[in-house]
């Protein structure tokens, strides 16, 4: 993935994902700096230009969620006191031994869960009743883990037995229990504020003493499906809280882009960028009840 992670004096760049960059202080002191960029992706493509303030909005949202969840699980955040160049969009975190499983909770049918359900009548080995529509609420939220794929690949859904084989039964059970209790808390909070959290992907790590700790960024529109509650309508693809305007423009005749082609998508026009930014701000405000900044 071609990205442009900033040079940060006093840190070395460790790695970058599509939209985030990871740094380690030099010399190493057991912490890491997790930086959220303003980059945005859709249909598996990184888009140009960036969305101003996206990284800061998602960082603030993630910090707010860590606070909402702090009685359920410890988290990796040490401080939001970070270099000026990344102020507001980075957190200093504890370096953990990361567990090699994407811990996904789903309360609604969408994405790879919908595809698996239509093929198998189950997701990750969890059987579901017949007749569920695209976007339907599941009878109860389920744990649908996935293996972390290499950059550019898609994560592969796995069943609970596979997680147990990788990590042992007690740790697999702990991850399932934490993932479902975090989702239940977040889903309730968001629903009270008019946002459906259809699903969410969590990452956990362990401290040297074995404590399981919530890591990465949590419950942002990049790690979760957020749907506006007022337009939820099972039986069709749901409106995405943040990316709908981007997807609609990319697939409209105005963009001139053929999604099925190998061509990179065209540059987003200013009005689409402005609207997308507003959606991130609105999601933050709906959730937290306070204006961003
Ligand atoms: C870690 N990733 C995957 C940045 C984010 N607390 C931690 N300790 C050790 N390692 C990690 C964390 C965290 N969080 C997490 N990689 C390392 C997500 N990356 C992808 C690239 O951008």
pLDDT digits (tens, 9 = 90+) for 262-291: 899 999 999 999 999 999 999 999 999 999
CB distance 216 to ligand 1 below 6 Å: yes
Mark whether 87 and 105 lie in a shared domain. no
Domain boundary among 68, 94, 120: 94
Span 170-195, average pLDDT: 98
- Cα separations in angstroms, 219 against 97, 126, 260, 267: 21, 23, 30, 28
- Residue 111 belongs to some domain of the structure: yes
Q: What are phi and psi of 21, to 5 degrees?
A: -125, 140
At 130, the pLDDT band (50, 70, 90 cuts) reads: very high
* Residue 277 belongs to some domain of the structure: no
Residues 201 and 81 in one domain: no
pLDDT of residue 2 exceeding 70, the answer is no
CA distances from 79 to 15, 90, 217, 270 (A): 20, 9, 14, 34
In a domain, 43, yes or no: yes
Predicted TM-score (pTM) of the model is: 0.97
Residue 276 lies in a domain: no
Inform me whether the pLDDT recorded for 43 exceeds 60: yes
Between the CA of 155 and the centroid of ligand 1 the distance, in Å, is 16
Classify 53 in phi/psi space as left (phi over 0), alpha (psi -120 to 50) or beta: left
Residue 1 has pLDDT above 80, yes or no: no
What's the token pair of residue 286? 């709906």
Total structural domains within the chain: 2
Q: Is the pLDDT reported for residue 150 higher than 90?
A: no
Percent of the chain with pLDDT over 90: 95
- Write out the residue range of the structural domain in which residue 218 sits: 97-255
The response to whether residue 107 sits with its C-beta less than 6 Å from ligand 1 reads no
Confidence check: pLDDT of 60 > 60: yes
Phi, psi dihedral angles at 186 (to 5 degrees): -65, -40
> Does pLDDT of 94 surpass 90?
yes
**Residue 74 and residue 163 in one domain:** no
From the CA of 15, give the closest atom in ligand 1: 21
Q: Kindly state the average pLDDT of the residues 53-57.
A: 98
Mutate to test the pocket of ligand 1, among 6, 86, 91, 98 (most ligand atoms within 8 A of CB): 98
pLDDT tens column, 209-245: 999 999 999 999 999 999 999 999 999 999 999 999 9
Instruction: Report the nearest-CA residue for atom 19 of ligand 1.
Output: 17
Indicate whether residue 99 lines ligand 1 (CB < 6 A).
Answer: no
């Amino acid at each position: 993935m071609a990205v442009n992670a900033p040079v940060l004096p006093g840190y070395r760049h460790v790695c970058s994902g599509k939209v985030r960059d990871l740094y380690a202080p030099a010399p190493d002191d057991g912490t890491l700096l997790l930086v959220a960029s303003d980059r945005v992706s859709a249909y598996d493509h990184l888009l140009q230009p960036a969305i101003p303030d996206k990284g800061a909005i998602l960082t603030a949202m993630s910090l707010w969620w860590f606070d909402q969840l702090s009685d359920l699980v410890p988290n990796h955040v040490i401080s939001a006191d970070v270099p000026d160049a990344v102020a507001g969009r980075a957190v200093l975190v504890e370096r953990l031994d990361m567990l090699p499983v994407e811990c996904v909770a789903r309360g609604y049918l969408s994405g790879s869960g919908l595809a698996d359900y239509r093929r198998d009548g189950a997701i990750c080995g969890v059987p579901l009743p017949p007749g569920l529509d695209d976007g339907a609420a599941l009878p109860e939220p389920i744990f649908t883990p996935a293996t972390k794929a290499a950059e550019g690949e898609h994560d592969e859904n796995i069943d609970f037995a596979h997680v147990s084989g990788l990590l042992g039964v007690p740790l697999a059970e702990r991850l399932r229990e934490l993932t479902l209790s975090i989702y239940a808390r977040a889903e309730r909070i968001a629903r009270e504020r008019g946002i459906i959290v259809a699903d969410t992907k969590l990452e956990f790590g362990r401290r040297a003493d074995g404590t399981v700790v919530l890591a990465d960024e949590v419950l942002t529109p990049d790690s979760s499906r957020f749907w506006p509650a007022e337009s939820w309508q099972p039986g069709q693809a749901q409106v995405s809280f943040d990316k709908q305007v981007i997807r609609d423009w990319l697939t409209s005749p105005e963009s001139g882009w053929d999604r099925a082609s190998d061509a990179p998508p065209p540059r987003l026009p200013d009005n689409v960028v402005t609207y997308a930014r507003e959606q991130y701000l609105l999601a933050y405000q709906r959730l937290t009840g306070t204006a961003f900044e």
